[in-house]
């Protein structure tokens, strides 16, 4: 399969880099500044699973002249509109678009632009970030990519995709219920993002404060209630794992939104919290703690725009 990775940042750079390292036909769609950096220094991965320095194939939006078999979309949600314009020429009648963005709003935007069939479902689980040298640093050992048809079917094209992604240096899994998997990740992201950003600290720091663990439980309860009302009730086992992770003493766990906030960067507040809260409102689900985090982060975002 000819694979186009949209974005060579913390997520796309990691999974795309591992695919390239495993000999897959991978090209990265990047902006000019990142092109210059990667051309000069290579795609560099720092990881507990092994470091790597690669010389990636790069393309800019203006240089795309033929469709790809797979477009792996890994940009931040607030950059989606610009990204769609950039990779549009790479989408042909048989192209699969595999987005691993957070939340669910991106699915609506992608299907409106490229059609229902083009867009499959995806979830990625990886903790990584770009350091000040442009290197992709993996912060924890987990690294999973889950994908599937949004209607739950196991189609020939997904079987081909599964063969391509297996054995590429990360956990790859074909799912027959990818929409549920996307919602379950959203519950985790909304909960962890809300509590770490609202409290401005790691899980360990939050739990060390009086009432911190109870606050984490309440935020998770709100998120689970939204998903349940929307027809995607998380399993008890999943909620138990999230609860344990969000109340672990001494844990350095944070959310990607909190890490972006600490850097003074934009955050995905509308897509991770705003859309989530709106969907709960439709069903009459009260989410005061999620709402508090949302307002807090919108104020932060507004401050960035005034700079």
- Catalytic residue positions? 185
CA distances to 81, 83, 154, 198, 260 from 73, in Å: 12, 9, 21, 29, 19
**Cβ atoms of residues 296 and 193 within 8 Å:** no
Q: How far apart are CA 209 and CA 86, in angstroms?
A: 46
Q: How far apart are CA 156 and CA 160, in angstroms?
A: 6
Exposure of 284 by Cβ count < 10 A (0-12 exposed, 13-18 middle, 19+ buried)?
A: exposed
Of 101, 104, 93, the closest CA to residue 9 belongs to 101
Exposure of 298 by Cβ count < 10 A (0-12 exposed, 13-18 middle, 19+ buried)?
A: middle
């Amino acid at each position: 399969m000819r694979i186009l990775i949209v974005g060579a940042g913390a997520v796309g750079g990691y999974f795309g880099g591992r695919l390239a390292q495993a000999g897959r036909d991978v090209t990265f769609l990047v902006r000019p500044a990142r092109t210059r950096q990667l051309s000069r220094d290579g795609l560099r991965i720092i990881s507990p699973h092994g470091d790597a320095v690669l010389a990636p194939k790069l393309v800019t939006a203006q240089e795309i002249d033929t469709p790809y078999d797979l477009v792996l979309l890994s940009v931040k949600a607030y950059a989606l509109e610009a990204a769609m314009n950039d990779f549009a020429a790479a989408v042909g009648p048989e192209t699969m678009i595999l987005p691993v963005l957070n939340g669910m709003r991106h699915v609506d935007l992608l299907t409106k632009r490229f059609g229902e069939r083009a867009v499959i479902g995806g979830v990625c689980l990886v903790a990584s970030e770009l350091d000040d040298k442009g290197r992709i640093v993996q912060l924890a050992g987990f690294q999973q990519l889950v994908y599937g048809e949004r209607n739950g079917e196991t189609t020939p094209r997904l079987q081909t995709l599964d063969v391509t992604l297996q054995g590429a240096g990360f956990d790859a899994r074909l799912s027959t219920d990818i929409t549920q998997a996307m919602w379950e990740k959203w519950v985790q992201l909304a909960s962890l993002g809300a509590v770490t950003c609202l409290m401005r600290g790691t899980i360990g720091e939050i739990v060390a404060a009086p009432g911190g663990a109870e606050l984490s439980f309440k935020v998770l309860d709100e998120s689970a209630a939204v998903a349940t009302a929307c027809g995607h009730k998380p399993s008890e086992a999943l909620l138990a794992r999230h609860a344990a992770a969000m109340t672990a003493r001494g844990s350095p766990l944070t959310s990607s939104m909190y890490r972006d906030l600490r850097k003074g960067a934009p955050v995905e507040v509308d897509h991770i919290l705003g859309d989530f809260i709106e969907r709960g409102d439709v069903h009459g689900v009260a989410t005061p703690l999620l709402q508090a985090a949302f307002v807090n982060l919108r104020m932060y975002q507004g401050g960035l725009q005034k700079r």
